[in-house]
Amino acid sequence: MESNFTALLLGLCTISLSAPVFGIKKDHEPKKPNILLIMADDMGYSDIGCYGSEIKTPNLDALAHNGLRYTQFYNSARCCPTRASLLTGLYPHQAGVGHMMNDRGADGYRGDLNDNCLTIAQVLKTAGYSTYMTGKWHVTPLLPSPEKPDKHNWPLQRGFDRFFGTIHGAGSFYDPNSLTSGNTYITPGKDFYYTSAISDTAVKFISHHSFDKPFFMYVAYTAAHWPLHALPEDIAKYKGVYTKGWDSIRLERYNRMIQLGIVDPRWRMSDATPGDCKWENTEMRAWQAACMEVYAAMIDRMDQGIGQIIEELKKKGQLENTLILYLQDNGACAEQWGFWNKKEIGVNPDTLKPMGPDQLQTKMQPQQTRDGKPVRSAKGVFPGAADTYIGYDISWANASNTPFRMFKHWVNEGGIATPLIAHWPAGISAKGKLSSQPGHLIDIMATCVELSGASYPAEYNGKKIVPLPGMSLVPSFKNRELNRKAIFWEHEGNRAVRVGKWKLISKADLKNSFIFDKVDELELKNWELYDMENDRTETENLAGQYPERVKTMAGEWFQWAKMAQVIPKPTN
């Protein structure tokens, strides 16, 4: 599906992309690989087929079959910190985005990319790359107002040649707020659906690229973030699939993951999360099943779009020399958006009228559709269409994160574990294999720098640039060890460090989740210790058995926290 605005938008692409793309001989292809970075939104570890899901993702599965799957790769537990880390190769606080898009009064928590970091696009441009982005940005606030934003940290100002997508982090898939072409807000056209528009635009960027030099492209889908919006033909594929309930789906995924080698059979599936309930005891089972049908359909449509991008690379003879990386920004989301409404919430339909073709959407959750219907949000609203706005239940999120504990926001495996698929026929010899080496978002920039031949600068525009803490994944493409020392996390007071097989975590007080109990190197309260080789599902806390290890790892975490601008931290 291609909307009218997309065709108009990308007709402009040919103006400044000089050489024609037809008739290019293979000996003219760049030795440097093209790099295509794909990120999905608010999806669980087991939500794609090649990681154990029943959801149909044949295109991602094909990339996995002919590439590498990493089973211990990590994100930063939340959408915007993850995106800041991914784009810059730094821990999120080092880039200024330790929490969300608001300034909390400390340098690690400004809610805006700082001047001491560079994006992958900025660095790769110095190595001769064209740079493109489609999809969700979410590393700068919509200030001073949604209508008149400060654009200093928009994609074109951070190294991208072309951009289509949204600046804000969430919104309707039919009428997203902050929809942008280049540096200009735009409105959606007829038959607009955001996931399809992201894919269509990526295809056209590739179609119009001259290939006299390589490209870097960042494709940031908002699927499957709430609201549950999907096209009828995609929803129909999953009719009846989820009537068996989340308990059965979770067990089926767990067994499938063991068969695939993603999960070690020694890892007991984690217990259901508080707030979760047995399917047989839940109310409104038909509605609950419908929510998961729409969620699956959203992922299905994303995979279809990824297939279109792959086909365009094949058409241009570029698939062989393109590194494709697919990953997710955090674990499944248990926020249950809209469930707090006891009845359908919407404005009086008698006061509504259709929106004008040039009228911008400024609300994350619209009050009305563009044709004038009230948008409904409440537990029990059947999702999918533009006049609905809800998420799915915590128990479905638990199934999405099979077999791990907790969700987005937390630093248990359910919050920070992501699939990573790496596909590059010319550069990855271990096709169809699994890599269990731990890795993190900070490694993506280091990988891109090595493959592009770029030099990562110590200064840029008179500002000191923070050195990269990550490691290039290129050795792992050839099945060599990365020799990593440690990986660290902090989000909303949730803390973790991983050293080898050991992981130390501390969950924040949920009533005051952003404040540490005490910033003291010797503060050991509430730390939990897990053996990731034998118990990656974090079911047996070993802190009492290894107090010296807890003390050592907690000290390492505090040293990192001071270095990475986690400390000093806000008090609210």
Q: Report how far Cα 226 is from the mean position of its chain's Cα atoms.
A: 13
Residue type, 173: F
Please give the Cα distance from 53 to 402 (Å, whole number).
9
Q: Which residue has the tokens 């608010």?
A: 42
Q: Report how far Cα 430 is from the mean position of its chain's Cα atoms.
A: 25
pLDDT score recorded for residue 524: 54
Per DSSP, 220 falls in state E
Distance from the first to the final alpha carbon of the chain: 45
Per DSSP, 236 falls in state G
Please give the Cα distance from 504 to 490 (Å, whole number).
12
Walk across the sheet containing 494-499 and list its strands. Answer: 487-491, 494-499, 502-506, 528-531
Please give the Cα distance from 476 to 451 (Å, whole number).
13
CA atoms within 13 A on the CB side of 25: 2
Neighbours of 476 (CB within 10 A): 21
- Taking Cα atoms as reference points, which of 98, 96, 87, 101 lies closest to residue 135? 87
Residues 182-212: b if buried by 16+ CB within 10 A, e if exposed: eeebebbbeebbbbbbbbbbbbbbbebbebe
Residue 235 phi, psi (nearest 5): -60, -40
- Cβ contacts of 321 within 8 Å, gap of 6 or more: 29, 30, 33, 34, 424, 425, 426
Please give the Cα distance from 94 to 485 (Å, whole number).
19
- Cβ contacts of 220 within 8 Å, gap of 6 or more: 38, 39, 41, 83, 133, 134, 135, 136, 137, 165, 198
Q: Which domains does the chain have, with CATH numbers?
A: 4-8+32-477 (3.40.720.10), 487-563 (3.30.1120.10)
pLDDT score recorded for residue 376: 94
Structure tokens at 10: 């990308």
- Cβ contacts of 339 within 8 Å, gap of 6 or more: 378, 379, 390, 391, 393
Please give the Cα distance from 378 to 399 (Å, whole number).
22
Q: Which residue has the tokens 């295509």?
A: 36
Q: Exposed, middle or buried by CB within 10 Å (0-12, 13-18, 19+), for 382?
A: middle
CA atoms within 13 A on the CB side of 390: 30
Q: Are 424 and 37 in contact (CB under 8 A)?
A: no
Q: Are 392 and 402 in contact (CB under 8 A)?
A: no
pLDDT score recorded for residue 11: 43
pLDDT score recorded for residue 54: 98
* Collapsed DSSP state (helix, strand, coil) of residue 72: strand
In angstroms and rounded to an integer, the radius of gyration of the C-alpha atoms of the chain is 23
Please give the Cα distance from 364 to 33 (Å, whole number).
37
Listing DSSP states for 500-555 in one string gives TTEEEEEPPPGGGTTS-S---TT--TT-EEEETTT-TT--S--TTT-HHHHHHHHH
Please give the Cα distance from 19 to 16 (Å, whole number).
9
Please give the Cα distance from 501 to 307 (Å, whole number).
36
**Residuewise pLDDT in 10s, the chain (572 residues):** 444 444 444 444 433 333 323 233 344 444 899 999 999 999 999 999 999 999 999 999 999 999 999 999 999 999 999 999 999 999 999 999 999 999 999 999 999 999 999 999 999 999 999 999 999 999 999 877 777 889 999 999 999 999 999 999 999 999 999 999 999 999 999 999 999 999 999 999 999 999 999 999 999 999 999 999 999 999 999 999 999 999 999 999 999 999 999 999 999 999 877 666 889 989 899 999 999 999 999 999 999 999 999 999 999 999 999 999 999 999 999 999 999 886 665 667 778 899 999 999 999 999 999 999 999 999 999 999 999 999 999 999 999 999 999 999 999 999 999 999 999 999 998 889 999 999 999 999 999 999 999 999 999 999 999 999 999 999 999 888 888 999 999 999 899 999 999 999 998 764 444 444 444 444 556 899 999 999 999 999 999 999 999 999 999 999 999 999 999 888 76
Parallel, antiparallel or unpaired: strands 463-464 and 34-40: unpaired
Q: Are 407 and 332 in contact (CB under 8 A)?
A: yes
Please give the Cα distance from 394 to 399 (Å, whole number).
9
Neighbours of 162 (CB within 10 A): 26
pLDDT score recorded for residue 4: 43
pLDDT score recorded for residue 546: 96
Strands (E), 191-321: 215-220
Per DSSP, 15 falls in state G
- Taking Cα atoms as reference points, which of 228, 188, 120 lies closest to residue 448? 120
- Give the CA dihedral 148, 152, 154, 158, nearest 10 degrees: 170
Structure tokens at 441: 């978002």
- Taking Cα atoms as reference points, which of 305, 286, 309 lies closest to residue 224? 305
Q: Are 163 and 247 in contact (CB under 8 A)?
A: no
pLDDT score recorded for residue 272: 75
